[in-house]
Amino acid sequence: MKNPTISRIIGRVMFLACFGCWATMVFMMLYLAQFNTPNLVDDFCFAWVSKEYGVLAGAYYYYMGWSGRYFGNILMHLTPLFFSTSFTFSGINTYLLLVLGFVTNLYLVRRMTDLPFRSTRLWASVFLIQAAALYSISGMYQWFYWFSGIYYYASLQLVILFFVVYFFEKPSRLRTGILAGLLFCIMGSSEISMLLLTGVFWGYQLWKWRFKGPINAELYLLLGIWLVGFLLVMLSPGNQVRAVTNVPLADGIHILLSNIKELIRQFFSSPFMWASFLWVLFVLELPKSYVRMSILDMLALTALFFISIIVSFIPLSFALGEVHIPERIISLFLLYMLMFVCFIVLQLKSVWGGLHLNRISVLVLVFIGLGIYKSKNFDLLSHEISSGNAQAYSQEYRARFEQIRLSKTDSVEVAPLKNHSALFFTEDLSTDPKHLWCKCVANYYGKKAVNRK
């Protein structure tokens, strides 16, 4: 028999452990956000275009010349540099994304489990899953400290919200409107999120239509919105400019397989992933009112999910022109896999019956400890704080751009950066004032030329 006292003690210990590991990472991220600076790769280019044409016109300019992410383009053109030349607000994306991720995850766990807000299991679940993301992803600085990468994590949250609203909220006009808005934004936020949602959601709808009767009338509206968004992305002139089309078949297959291998390696080597799966298996339960999926439906959904991942890797391998898919993209796949596997584990648990945390709590704590110990993100943030690298780099970087802003001449030369940080993009200006980054900086500050000595 379960001992209520022991169960309460174990529950509190687990809550404190989940909260502690989450709070430690968030505290370091928020502390370092004050040293964040706009990077030269994209931020000044987006800022200049926004100032020159406006946010919407700038987004359209990029849609025609670089990317079909019509919603992602709007997010990136809302850079803090559009509102102020001060770097004070450069860390705002860190704050916004942390809040968005936490609120979305809280909504997800609350609706899927019906746990009350006073439940320590609810909050521990949210803290643990958020910690799994923050400690495990390899694209930390490209998501949370690079404003031009804001749409990766944002698109993940939009997809989560879409599925929770669709499957857990009661039908109403408001629900339909929210779904329509979310779907339109998702389609134009990230190609990865667009392809995964397309394969999983619409594949599952076809599966239900084939075996379980007619399609819900609401889906016709969503299908129309999906089609409009899909065509806007796929027919974007900017995609034709950006895509590389000369990758040989053999090289593309090699890139595809090597990157899928890397994704699998990161997924199974993360202790926080295993801690999350065990937590879901032994702690969380679906509400009794929720209609469980059959084993056959789960198998179909699983096949759709992993086929969609492979399909998503194809354009990345044959059109991106990079041997290794960037960390920010691998991280997006990684978190989709985390959420999906947790969902399947929860579904399987509803079929097998209840299990109890008391028997496995020590193992969960061990995985949490290993997750902190093995986390490259934890090492990176703690080193940047203790060494002072981030602060020194930020101070020198800000002084440089104040020099450019306050210069009375139209042509400005600046000294090479002496300080560097592993947390931020630290590419330097070119010695050639015609280089794209130099031209973007010069245009943003109203200069004829800016370059490094």
What is the pLDDT at residue 1? Answer: 43
Mean pLDDT throughout 418-431? 89
Query: What whole-number distance in Å separates Cα of residue 267 and Cα of residue 232?
Result: 33
Residue type, 156: L
> Of 358 and 444, which is predicted with more confidence?
444
Contact 149, 155 (CB under 8 A): no
- Residue 389 pLDDT > 50, yes or no? yes
- Residue 322 pLDDT > 70, yes or no? no
Strands 411-414 and 449-452: parallel
Mean pLDDT throughout 234-257? 78
Identify the weakest region by mean pLDDT among 64-73, 249-258, 316-325, 410-419. Answer: 316-325
The closest of 60, 145, 68 to 384, measured between CA atoms, is 145
- Residue 226 pLDDT > 70, yes or no? yes
Share of the chain above pLDDT 70, in %: 94
What is the pLDDT at residue 73? Answer: 94
pTM summary value: 0.91
- Residue 5 pLDDT > 90, yes or no? no
Query: What whole-number distance in Å separates Cα of residue 341 and Cα of residue 337?
Result: 6
Would residue 67 be called left, alpha or beta, if left means φ above 0 and alpha means ψ between -120 and 50 degrees? beta
Contact 270, 122 (CB under 8 A): no
Q: What is the pLDDT confidence band of residue 315, given thresholds at 50, 70 and 90?
A: confident
> Of 276 and 361, which is predicted with more confidence?
276
Phi then psi for residue 344, to 5 deg, are -65, -40
Query: What whole-number distance in Å separates Cα of residue 32 and Cα of residue 384?
Result: 8
Radius of gyration of the chain (CA): 23
What is the pLDDT at residue 358? Answer: 61
Mean pLDDT throughout 373-377? 94
pLDDT tens digits along 94-123 = 999 999 999 999 999 999 888 999 999 999
Contact 283, 128 (CB under 8 A): no
Query: What whole-number distance in Å separates Cα of residue 312 and Cα of residue 306?
Result: 10
What is the pLDDT at residue 438? Answer: 94
What is the pLDDT at residue 256? Answer: 86
Q: What is the pLDDT confidence band of residue 350, given thresholds at 50, 70 and 90?
A: confident
Q: Residue 328 CB: number of other CB atoms within 10 A?
A: 20
Query: What whole-number distance in Å separates Cα of residue 215 and Cα of residue 200?
Result: 16
- Residue 354 pLDDT > 60, yes or no? no
pLDDT tens digits along 426-441 = 788 999 999 999 999 9
Task: DSSP for 202-229, please give it.
Answer: IHHHHHHHHHH-PPPTHHHHHHHHHHHH
Q: What is the pLDDT confidence band of residue 155, given thresholds at 50, 70 and 90?
A: very high
- Residue 57 pLDDT > 60, yes or no? yes
pLDDT tens digits along 287-296 = 877 777 888 8
3-state secondary structure of 412: strand
